[in-house]
Structure 1
């Protein structure tokens, strides 16, 4: 488990980037926390710098969009999903379990 940040430091609609084996973006989307690989699968861009609408994040480079719950792309130009990670909130701290990675196709 990697400590991402305090709950108070990640307001709704915002994201934070953490470093693990790869960069990971942690989002507060509609009061739920999600973690995905930070790099867009279409081209190297930080999803933490993207635009969040509900549970979808739009890449800041070419507007590819991903569902934070599944990692699946919802529109072109991205065709491959981003990896997702379990998130745990304990005592007001957000943790990402980088040991349990959902494999992407």
Structure 2
């Protein structure tokens, strides 16, 4: 069995994005990119002006999302920082699809 036969590790993480991230379609772009990458989970605006969410997927895809959430964001957003927590490995993704919560 070669390395390519081993399924990629599924990881799960929660995130909170700080900065000018509301009113700039951040949640929509986050959902669109997650769906494109095959990442499951959810995202939502908080009352304190941040964006929170949970994502699950293959580690390389999650790493792409970590990068996007930390540095890129939606056009017009200004990210001060992004905190990640509750990292865990999963046997399989618990979420099907990626939703915006209200």
- Decide: shared fold, TM above 0.5: no
Q: Which has the larger share of helix?
A: 2
TM (normalized to structure 1)?
A: 0.29
* More contact order relative to length (CA 8 Å, sep ≥ 6): 2
Which entry has the higher C-alpha Rg, 1 or 2?
Answer: 2
